[in-house]
Amino acid sequence: MTGRLGGRELTALAWRGLRGGLLACATLLATACGGGGGADAPQAGASWLVLGSSTAAGVGASAGMGWAARLDAALRDRGARVDNRARSGASTYQALPADAPRPTTRPATDPAQDVAVALLTRPRVMVLAFPSNDAMLGYGAAETTANLLLMHERARAAGTAVLVLSSQPRDDAPAAAREAMIASDRSLSAALGACFVDLRADLSGPDGNIASAYAAGDGVHLNNDGHGIVFQRLWEAAGSGRCAGTR
């Protein structure tokens, strides 16, 4: 894991890479999506799908500075886009297929986030970003892990590559919730390898809360620089080619 970057350094690094990295963008879309056959660029209109909660929806960041908005801006230069279906307050249960079994005490699927419906758009890559709501609602690590792996399985069966983002620190998380987040991260990392994007260490301060440099001020969400870290790590994971998918 690389060290933390300051706001100016991160912005300069990330956006210089976007301006000059068209080849890297093409590689990102070809490799992370399982593209092959020597293709140099994504097909026109190819999309990335984002399912998640408030951070993925951009909460805490200025307009256009959320990590999903930055990803969308980067991809549009290559004829691709982000279909962002994230909703504040969402848990993993709300993105499961509507017919997926669940305990009666868990929420029903949100039609706007139903992974089975979203996959009908045939996205090339899906990003799952549910960093803390499950744990804060008292759901166990095994539940969160199983839900994310089910969505991953459905997407891969449909020919969509998947990147799963880790949990994130939040200042109001009790010890049990922090333990559940960390346990789920461990399980997902073991199951998904390079398709799991570990963000927690980069975003955490010494006390396990959100690092002050990345905190939006509400104890839950990330500021512009924190969103920049998420974007950078996601960009690196996709562009590395280590998380291959199928078309």
197-220 confidence digits (pLDDT tens): 999 999 999 999 999 999 999 999
Domain residue ranges in the chain: 7-239
Percent above pLDDT 70 for the chain: 80
Q: CA 118, CA 158: separation in Å to the nearest integer?
A: 11
pTM for the model stands at 0.82
Cα-to-chain-centroid distance, residue 193: 15
Rounded-to-integer distance, Cα 201 and Cα 177, Å: 16
Does pLDDT of 78 surpass 90?
Answer: no
pLDDT for res 16: 46
The pLDDT of residue 241: 86
Residue 25 pLDDT more than 80?
no
Per-residue pLDDT tens digits for 136-147: 999 999 999 999
Least confident of 113-122, 187-196, 233-242: 233-242
3 state SS of 84: strand
% of the chain residues with pLDDT over 90:
77
Would you say 130 and 148 are in contact if contact means Cβ atoms under 8 Å apart? Answer: yes
Residue 214 sits at φ, ψ, to 5 deg, of -115, 5
Contact between residue 53 and residue 133 where contact means Cβ atoms under 8 Å apart: yes
Residue with the two structure tokens 């590559």: 161
pLDDT tier, 36 (very low <50, low <70, confident <90, very high otherwise): very low
> Which ranges of the chain does DSSP label H, i.e. alpha helix?
7-20, 22-32, 67-76, 115-118, 133-136, 141-157, 175-192, 200-203, 224-239
Strand partners, 196: 164
- Tell me, which fold does domain 7-239 have in CATH? Rossmann fold (3.40.50)
Beta bridge partners of 48: 82, 125
Does residue 15 register a pLDDT over 50? no
Mean pLDDT on 80-106: 97
The length of the chain is 247
Q: Choose between 246 and 119: higher pLDDT.
A: 119
List the helix and strand counts (H, then E) for the chain.
Answer: 9, 5
pLDDT (0 to 100) of residue 14: 44
Cα separation, 104 vs 62, in Å, equals: 38
Distance CA 199, CA 32 (A): 18
**45 pLDDT above the threshold of 70:** no
Question: What distance in Å separates the CA atoms of residue 54 and residue 221, rounded to the nearest whole number?
Answer: 8
Is the model's pLDDT at 18 over the cut of 70? no
Average pLDDT over residues 61-84: 95
pLDDT at 8 over 80: no
- For 58, list phi and psi in degrees, rounded to 5: 100, 5
Query: What CA–CA distance (Å, rounded) separates 164 from 103?
Result: 24
pLDDT at 27 over 80: no
Mean pLDDT, range 24-31, rounded to an integer: 40
Find the helix or strand (DSSP H, E) in which 187 lies.
helix 175-192
| DSSP-derived pairing of the beta strands 81-84 and 125-129 | unpaired
Q: What is the rounded average pLDDT for all residues in the chain?
A: 86
pLDDT band at 222 (very low <50, low <70, confident <90, very high): very high
Q: Which residue has the higher pLDDT, 244 or 101?
A: 101
d(CA 38, CA 56): 32
